[in-house]
Amino acid sequence: MRGPHRLAPGLLTDAARPVGFCFDGQRMRGLAGDTLASALLANGRTLVGRSFKYHRPRGIVTAGPEEPCALVDVIGADGREPNRLATTLALHDGLVAESQNRWPSLRFDARAFNDLVSRFLPAGFYYKTFMAPSWAWERVYEPLIRRAAGLGRLDANAGAHPAPAETLHEHADVLVVGGGGAGLAAAQRLGERGFRVILAEQDMVLGGGTLLDARWDAWRQGVCDALGAAARVRCLARTTVLGAYGHGVFGALQVLSPAETLQFGGLRERLRIIRARRVLFATGAVERLIAFPGNDTPGVMLAGAALSYLRRYGVAAGSRPALFLNSDQAYDTLFAFAAAGIGCAGVIDPRPQSLAADRARAAAIEVHGGSVIEAVRGRGTALRVQIARLDGRAAGTLAADSLLISGGYCPQTALAVQLGATLHWQQSIAAFSAQLPAAIGRLAGSARGVFGLAAAVLDGAAAADAIAADLGRPIAAAGARPLPDDPQVTPIAALWEVRTARARGKAFVDLQNDVTSADVRLAQREGYEHVEHMKRYTTHGMATDQGRIGGLVGSAVLAQARGVALSEVGRSKPRPFAQPVAFAALAGSEVGQHLKPWRRVPLHDWHQAAGASFVPTGLWMRPLVYSRQPGWEPVLREARAVRRSVGITDVSTLGKIDVQGPGAGQFLDFIYANTFSTLPVGRARYGIMLREDGMLLDDGTTTRLGPQHFIVTTTTANAAAVLEHMEFHLQAVCPQFDVVLTDVGDQWAQFALAGPRSREVAAAVVADLELSNQAFPFMAAAAAIIAGVAGRVFRISFSGELAYELAVPARHAPLVWQALLAAGAPLGIEAYGLDALNSLRIEKGHVTGAELNGNTSADDLGFTRMLKRHGDFIGRVLSQRAGMTAPDRLQLVGVRPLDAGQRLRNGSHLVAREARSTSLGYVTSSTPGVELDGWVGLALLAAGRQRVGQQLLGVSPLHDEQVELRIVSPHMLDPENARVRA
Query: Which stretches of the chain bind another protein, using CB under 8 A?
Result: 166-171, 196, 263-265, 273, 275, 589-590, 593-594, 596-602, 605, 619-620, 658, 660-662, 708, 738, 740, 742-749, 789-791, 808-812
CB 599 within 8 A of CB 810: no
* Interatomic CA distance for residues 736 and 747, integer angstroms: 28
Smallest separation, CB 871 to another protein (Å): 22
Q: Which secondary structure element, helix H or strand E, spans residue 358, and what is its range? A: helix 355-362
User: Residue 450, exposed/middle/buried by CB under 10 A (0-12, 13-18, 19+)?
Assistant: buried
Compare residues 401 and 658 and give the one whose CB is closer to another protein: 658
If the CB atoms of residues 236 and 300 are measured against another protein, the closer one turns out to be 236
Determine contact, residues 510/547, Cβ cutoff 8 Å. Answer: yes
Positive or negative, the CA dihedral 211, 214, 216, 222 is positive
- Give least dist CB 585 to another protein, A: 13
Pick between residue 600 and residue 966 the one whose CB is nearest to another protein.
600
> At its nearest, how many Å lie between another protein and the CB of residue 234?
11
Task: Give buried/exposed letters for 195-204 (b at 16+ CB in 10 A, else e).
Answer: bbbbbbbbbe
**Cα angle 816, 820, 825; round to 5:** 150
| Stretch (H or E) spanning 469 | helix 453-470
In angstroms, the CA 52 to CA 154 distance is 16
Least distance from C-beta 659 to another protein, angstroms? 9
Residue with Cβ nearer another protein (791 or 928) = 791
Smallest separation, CB 809 to another protein (Å): 4
105/589 with CB nearer another protein: 589
Q: Supply the minimum distance, in Å, between the C-beta of residue 406 and another protein.
A: 42
Residues 6+ apart with CB under 8 A from 135: none
Element containing residue 406 per DSSP (H, E): strand 402-406
Q: How far apart are CA 948 and CA 390, in angstroms?
A: 95
Distance CA 759, CA 780 (A): 13
CB of 754 to another protein, least distance (A): 23
Q: How far is the CB of 608 from another protein (least distance, A)?
A: 9
Residue 747 or 950: which CB sits closer to another protein? 747
Backbone angles phi, psi at 894, to 5 degrees: -100, 150
Q: Smaller CB distance to another protein: residue 53 or 792?
A: 792
Q: What amino acid is encoded at 800 in this protein?
A: G
**Residue (of 577, 575, 597, 598) closest to 586 by Cα position:** 577
- Residue among 490 and 708 whose Cβ is closer to another protein: 708
CA angle 449, 450, 451 (to 5 degrees): 105
- Helix/strand/coil percent split, the chain, to 5: 25, 30, 45
Give pairs for 786-795: CB < 8 Å, separation 24+: 786/816, 786/819, 787/815, 787/816, 787/819, 787/820, 788/815, 789/815, 789/816, 791/816, 792/703, 792/705, 792/711, 792/748, 793/762, 793/766, 793/769, 794/684, 794/701, 794/703, 795/684
Could you give the CA distance from residue 49 to residue 69 in angstroms, rounded to a whole number? 7
Distance CA 487, CA 426 (A): 21
Closer to another protein by Cβ: residue 261 or 885: 261
Cis bond upstream, residue 281 (ω within 30) = no
The smaller minimum CB distance to another protein, of residues 589 and 855, is found at 589
Which residue, 314, 301, 453, 224, is CA-closest to 12? 314
Minimum distance from residue 596 beta carbon to another protein (Å): 6
Please state the closest distance from residue 748 (CB atom) to another protein, in A. Answer: 7
| CB contact at 8 A, 548 and 66 | yes
Q: Based on CB atoms, which residue is closest to another protein, 263 or 353?
A: 263
Chain centroid to CA 89: how far?
24
Q: Where are the alpha helices (DSSP H) in 530-632?
A: 531-538, 551-562, 566-569, 583-587, 604-609
The least distance separating another protein from the CB of residue 619, rounded to whole angstroms, comes to 7
Residues in contact with 645: Cβ distance below 8 Å, sequence separation at least 6, in sequence order: 755, 756, 757, 827, 828, 829
Distance CA 568, CA 358 (A): 35
**CB closer to another protein, 145 vs 790:** 790
Amino acid code (one letter) for 181: G
- Give the DSSP H/E element, type plus range, for residue 441: strand 441-443
For another protein, the closer CB: 451 or 667: 667
Instruction: Supply the minimum distance, in Å, between the C-beta of residue 111 and another protein.
Output: 45
Please, what is the minimum distance in Å from the beta carbon of residue 789 to another protein?
A: 5
Nearer of residues 600 and 644 to another protein, judged by Cβ: 600
Alpha-helix runs per DSSP H in 230-330: 258-263, 303-313
Least Å distance, CB 168 to another protein, is 5
For residues 445 and 791, which CB has a smaller minimum distance to another protein in the complex? 791
Q: Supply the minimum distance, in Å, between the C-beta of residue 197 and another protein.
A: 13
Task: List alpha helices for 22-141, DSSP H.
Answer: 36-42, 113-116, 125-129, 136
In whole angstroms, how close is the CB of 903 to another protein at the nearest point?
A: 36
Q: Decide whether 154 or 586 has the Cβ nearer to another protein.
A: 586
Q: How far is the CB of 273 from another protein (least distance, A)?
A: 8
- Which residue lies nearer to another protein by CB, 816 or 973? 816
